[in-house]
Amino acid sequence: MTPKRIAEILRQGNPDDRLTIQGWVRTKRELKGFSFMEVNDGSCLASLQVVLDREMPQYEQVLKSLNTGASVEVEGVLVASPAKGQRVELKAEKVVVYGEADENYPLQKKRHSFEFLRTIAHWRSRTNTLGAVFRVRNACSAAVHEFFQQRGFLWVHTPIITGNDCEGAGELLAVTSLDLQNVPRTKEQAVDYSQDFFGKPAYLTVSGQLEAEVMAMAFGNVYTFGPTFRAENSNTSRHLAEFWMIEPEMAFCDLEGNMDLAEQFLQFVFKSVLEKCPEDMEFFNKRINDTVLATADNIINNQFERVTYTEAIALLEKAPDKFEFPVEWGLDLQSEHERYLAEKLFKKPVIVTDYPLEIKAFYMRVGDDGKTVRAMDVLAPNIGEIIGGSQREERLDILENRMQSHGINPEELWWYLDLRRFGSVPHAGFGLGFERLVQFMTGMGNIRDVIPFPRAPLSLDF
């Protein structure tokens, strides 16, 4: 019999349905004439209650091997459940235990901290919270593609190994072509970290933007959705060394079109995830952060606030809060400033535009005032910056000047400059950190708990 997923059974199973399930035991309770166990298969938050009758063949023996963590297949018949909160339960007729689990299995009844769970990342997907996170993450990924595909954007794959530092922030992880025959094996043998990629320096990409611009110059509207890497050597709850980024790039588009897209995008994704994972979202609201559902509602139903950087500085100067970092025109906004604007002042996402040219990347379009660039950051309550974007500099001479003042050798980006030589056009795009989005949506406090295998300083094995 083809096994059925528990989510489907709980949604539409009826008494007398004969079926098979497969999953992992969450709990077991032994009573006199019969026993209960809860089986979870990852398809939903809830587990299915299974009733094991003493009359069942090999009852005692089966029961002994059914400990928390064991993998099972159960064949039986659904019966109406007398218990509260569930319509049906499964009366077992045949139980196959694939793999037993002894008392060393770490996910016993006790609730563990997220910090501890990070040390057992190979098990944490079997907990309620991480299970819900990864289902929401999946729904969110699907919604990303749906949004762009519905609008005719082409999904393009930009390289992971690259020769450029798009952001110029110096957070590159280098790639080397180690000769495996001669890899140093002992501490005494020196490791030559200067080895490069077949004779040229190469890095893991920090952003696919520059290459996405190439593709936008042929297809109009494109997007990337792939892994990016940054050597973030600090312990924050918002930074990973490996994270996924969504980067739309649009030809014939200015900053206003870019802001509209960012707003529509976030609204679409929130709506879609609420529709696809209502139980998981309710769970986050109840157990993780009681503002999760209100935030989703706020995003879906309100326009985002839009202010210029200059206006934002004025608002921050007037703030009653004492900030750790200075507020001054010309300095970048820190996370505390971003959160003040989004959380306290406007109580919704805020798009800050037109940042001082000195603090932003070389490729952003210089504004008419000559002092600012047409940049935009979308700031979210509880998170701070969630999106960074801009209109790109499409004028060759100005771009060359900007590269010079950023110390970038134009020869290294000759192909990028070429885009401004042949058929240049106003264009714009943004980068959204996928994990920050999932974090924002679920209310999870640490970004390491929204990606299956977080990569951060001191966290490589798991």
Residues of this chain that bind Mg ion (CB under 5 A): 385, 388
Beta carbon nearer to ligand ATP, 156 or 387: 387
Which residues lie across from 353 on neighbouring strands?
308, 376
DSSP 180-230: GGG---STTSPP-TT--BTTB-EEE-S-SHHHHHHHHHHHSEEEEEEEEE-
Distance, in Å, from the CA atom of 349 to the CA atom of 96, rounded to the nearest integer, reads 51
> Of the listed pieces 50-58, 235-243, 315-323, 393-401, which binds ligand ATP according to CB under 6 A?
235-243
Minimal distance, residue 293 CB to ligand ATP, in Å: 22
Distance, in Å, from the CA atom of 357 to the CA atom of 374, rounded to the nearest integer, reads 9
**55 Cβ contact partners less than 8 Å away, ≥ 6 residues apart:** none
Distance, in Å, from the CA atom of 375 to the CA atom of 226, rounded to the nearest integer, reads 22
* 343 lies in the site for ligand ATP, by CB under 6 A: no
* 72 lies in the site for ligand ATP, by CB under 6 A: no
Site for ligand ATP in 244-263 (CB under 6 A): 245
Minimal distance, residue 356 CB to ligand ATP, in Å: 14
Among 38, 41, 213, 232, binds ligand ATP (CB under 6 A): 232
Map residues 141-170 to x or -, x wherever contact with ligand ATP holds by CB under 6 A.
--------------------------x---
Taking CB atoms, the residue at the shortest distance from Mg ion is 388
* 133 lies in the site for ligand ATP, by CB under 6 A: no
Among 131, 367, 433, 443, binds ligand ATP (CB under 6 A): 433
Beta carbon nearer to ligand ATP, 233 or 405: 233
Distance, in Å, from the CA atom of 396 to the CA atom of 215, rounded to the nearest integer, reads 18
Minimal distance, residue 340 CB to ligand ATP, in Å: 15
Which of 73, 85, 65 has the alpha carbon at shortest distance from 20?
A: 73
Minimal distance, residue 385 CB to Mg ion, in Å: 5
Total number of residues binding ligand ATP (CB under 6 A)? 17
> Of the listed pieces 26-34, 108-116, 176-184, 230-238, which binds ligand ATP according to CB under 6 A?
230-238
How many Cβ atoms are within 10 Å of 377's Cβ, its own excluded?
24
Among 41, 89, 435, 449, binds ligand ATP (CB under 6 A): 435
* 204 lies in the site for ligand ATP, by CB under 6 A: no
Among 240, 313, 341, 428, binds ligand ATP (CB under 6 A): 240
Rounded to 5°, angle at Cα 460 from 456 and 462: 105
Are 163 and 200 contacting, i.e. CB atoms less than 8 angstroms apart? yes
Sign of the CA dihedral with 314 first, then 315, 319, and 325 last: negative
Minimal distance, residue 216 CB to ligand ATP, in Å: 17
Beta carbon nearer to Mg ion, 116 or 325: 325
Are 365 and 373 contacting, i.e. CB atoms less than 8 angstroms apart? yes
Strand order in the sheet with 154-155: 154-155, 221-229, 242-251, 427-433, 384-391, 372-380, 350-356, 305-308
DSSP 410: G
Q: Which does 247 bind (CB under 5 to 8 A by kind): ligand ATP, Mg ion, none?
A: none
Map residues 359-398 to x or -, x wherever contact with ligand ATP holds by CB under 6 A.
--------------------------xxxx----------
* 432 lies in the site for ligand ATP, by CB under 6 A: yes
Minimal distance, residue 272 CB to ligand ATP, in Å: 19
* 230 lies in the site for ligand ATP, by CB under 6 A: yes
* 243 lies in the site for ligand ATP, by CB under 6 A: yes
> Of the listed pieces 58-66, 142-150, 364-372, 426-434, which binds ligand ATP according to CB under 6 A?
426-434
Burial class (CB in 10 A: 0-12, 13-18, 19+), 315: middle
Minimal distance, residue 361 CB to Mg ion, in Å: 8
DSSP 457: T
Beta carbon nearer to ligand ATP, 170 or 407: 170
Sign of the CA dihedral with 438 first, then 440, 444, and 446 last: positive
Q: Which does 240 bind (CB under 5 to 8 A by kind): Mg ion, ligand ATP, none?
A: ligand ATP
Q: Which does 386 bind (CB under 5 to 8 A by kind): ligand ATP, Mg ion, none?
A: ligand ATP
Residue with tokens 């918002």: 238
**274 Cβ contact partners less than 8 Å away, ≥ 6 residues apart:** 281, 296, 300
Tokens for 257, please give them: 């079109």
Phi, psi of 25 (to 5 degrees): -70, 130
Are 73 and 21 contacting, i.e. CB atoms less than 8 angstroms apart? yes
Minimal distance, residue 421 CB to Mg ion, in Å: 28
* 210 lies in the site for ligand ATP, by CB under 6 A: no
Beta carbon nearer to ligand ATP, 44 or 373: 373
Burial class (CB in 10 A: 0-12, 13-18, 19+), 113: exposed
Binding site for ligand ATP (CB under 6 A): 167, 230, 232, 238-240, 243, 245, 385-388, 431-433, 435-436
